[in-house]
A and B are shown apart, each in its own frame.
Chain A
Amino acid sequence: MMRLLLMVMRSRFSHLLQAVSFDIRVAMSVRVQTEDFDAGFEINQLRKARRDVGAVVSFVGQVRDINDGNEISQLTLEHYPGMTEKSLHAIITRAKERWNIMDVLIIHRVGTLQPCDQIVMVAVSGGHRGEAFAACEFVMDYLKTEAPFWKKEVTQSGERWVEDKASDDDARERWNKTVK
């Protein structure tokens, strides 16, 4: 009886369940925002989302008070609304094709930030740690070289745009050499 009732409820309200879970998933996977985030909360969300999750690997990047020998007092991040989100989704899709992982979350802040502010978070859940570790690093390496974000720093001698680094390109390229 209970079982039947559950089944009826499921079929009657399935459209609601689907709508809700879809929204949560879309909202959770890629977020570009000015607001700060709670990394601990996000990790717990990913961990508790499925009972077959065995590992969550996460990365948090923060604003440093020094870059290329100059003291940094402020950082402004610009992005390309629409393309940025698409690019991050595409990176997640590539990671999911390559590794047996479950969920990927990317949060990237834009706007004006101060030293010690969080900039970016990537978290990957999976059955085991190995693939989650690799996927997390892969997502960060592609994010740094393909996602349209630009940093401008305020130093003691004025404002300057941050230059791209060859080491970031090298970090991305190693994923094309690794035989998996």
Chain B
Amino acid sequence: MKIKLFYFARLKETLKYSTEDLELAEADGPWTILKLKAYLAKRGDVWGQMLMGKLKVRAAINHELVNDDASIADGDEVAFFPPVTGG
């Protein structure tokens, strides 16, 4: 299945990715936020530190804040970012 990924703030800056289209193997499913983070963490040290390390990471699916156990479906827009600091 195909998903669209977005990264923001510190994650975007450190990973040097703002957005990407990703193909996830259905056979490896079901895909959750946690599983996706673990999958991306395998790309290298900095990915592991950013997504599976000590830093707090928030996730959204189709613009809704979700937890690690939320499941991802074909065509979803997934985003990873640090805790928000607006206002």
Give the residue name and chain of the A residue nearest to B79 (CB).
A80
Can you list, as one digit per residue, whether each of B47-87 has a CB less than 8 Å from chain A (1) or not (0)? 00000000010001001010000000000000101111111
How many residues of chain A get a CB closer than 8 Å to chain B's CBs?
Answer: 27
A42: shortest Cβ distance to chain B, in Å?
17
Chain B interface helix/strand/loop/mixed: loop
Asked if B87 contacts A164 (CB within 8 A), the reply is: no
Report the separation of the CA atoms of residues A149 and B87 in the bound assembly, to the nearest whole angstrom: 8
Interface centre among B9, B65, B84 (most CB of A within 10 A): B84
Can you list, as one digit per residue, whether each of A52-83 has a CB less than 8 Å from chain B (1) or not (0)? 00000000010000000000000001111011
Asked if B10 contacts A83 (CB within 8 A), the reply is: no
Report the separation of the CA atoms of residues A162 and B79 in the bound assembly, to the nearest whole angstrom: 19
* 23 contacts across the A-B interface (CB closer than 8 A): A61-B87, A77-B86, A78-B8, A79-B86, A80-B8, A80-B79, A87-B65, A108-B86, A120-B86, A120-B87, A143-B87, A144-B84, A144-B85, A144-B86, A146-B84, A147-B87, A148-B8, A148-B60, A148-B81, A148-B86, A150-B86, A161-B10, A161-B85
> 10 shortest A-B CB distances, which residue pairs?
A149-B86, A150-B9, A164-B83, A83-B63, A144-B87, A162-B85, A151-B85, A161-B10, A86-B63, A143-B87
